[in-house]
């Protein structure tokens, strides 16, 4: 969660690096809409957490308005203060995340992903760091996804994955094999 201007700048830098952007594009060029959305998301988080004084209210409302317009245009329903630094949204399209979910750093997410509560539950998923979520995956209920987990396309995840570095897929999702990109436990 962004708590200071330094955190805000660190989150932006991590997101920029995750998206593979090397620097600033000239203003006259068409901007990348995903990078534009992510910058607005982080700016809104900064204003909601750090600029709470009434003096900042007009600017905070303007940023919120721009964020909502970008969210509707791209099909993203990603609430502020849910995802850690290093977010990489691969494509424009439908993404739905519950506002109480907690997601770690360096998340890579494709289109059609839903992260929310189960049908008769109030608990939401907690997702670790360096997780990859492929297109169409559904993650719901009070579950925990470990670090370095790779969730396959159209997987329905309704049980916790506690061992880090696994690839899961299927309906319902099951562990398929170990993730070859997992660096192993750090000592």
Distances (CA, A) of 59 to 43, 51, 62, 100: 11, 10, 5, 25
Please give the domain boundaries of the chain with CATH numbers for all domains. 5-77 (no CATH), 94-178 (2.160.10.10)
Handedness of CA 144, 148, 149, 154 (dihedral sign): positive
The structure's pTM equals 0.88
**In the structure encoding, which two tokens stand for residue 171, read together?**
């309906």
Q: Which helix (H) or strand (E) holds 98?
A: none
Q: Give the pLDDT confidence score for residue 181 in this predicted structure.
A: 78
Give the torsion through C-alpha atoms of 164, 165, 170, 173, to 10 deg: 0
Q: Residue 8: phi, psi to the nearest 5?
A: -55, -50
Give the pLDDT means over successive 10-residue stretches in the chain (187 positions): 93 92 63 90 94 89 94 94 95 94 96 90 91 96 94 95 93 89 70
Distance CA 82, CA 130 (A): 15
Place of tokens 């880090």: 164
Distance CA 85, CA 97 (A): 16
């Amino acid at each position: 969660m962004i708590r200071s201007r330094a955190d805000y700048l660190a989150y932006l830098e991590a997101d920029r690096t995750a998206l593979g952007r090397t620097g600033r594009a000239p203003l006259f060029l068409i901007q990348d809409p995903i990078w534009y959305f992510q910058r607005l998301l982080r700016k809104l988080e900064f204003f909601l957490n750090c600029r709470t004084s009434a003096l900042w209210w007009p600017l905070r409302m303007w940023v919120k308005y721009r964020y909502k317009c970008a969210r509707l245009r791209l099909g993203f329903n990603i609430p502020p203060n849910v995802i850690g630094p290093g977010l990489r949204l691969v494509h424009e399209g439908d993404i739905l995340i519950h506002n109480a979910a907690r997601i770690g750093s360096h998340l890579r997410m494709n289109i059609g992903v839903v992260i929310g509560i189960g049908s008769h539950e109030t608990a939401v998923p907690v997702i670790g760091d360096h997780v990859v979520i492929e297109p169409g995956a559904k993650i719901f209920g009070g579950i925990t996804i470990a670090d370095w987990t790779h969730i396959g396309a159209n997987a329905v995840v309704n049980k916790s994955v506690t061992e880090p570095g696994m690839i899961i897929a299927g309906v319902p999702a099951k562990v398929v094999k170990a993730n070859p990109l997992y660096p192993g436990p750090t000592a």
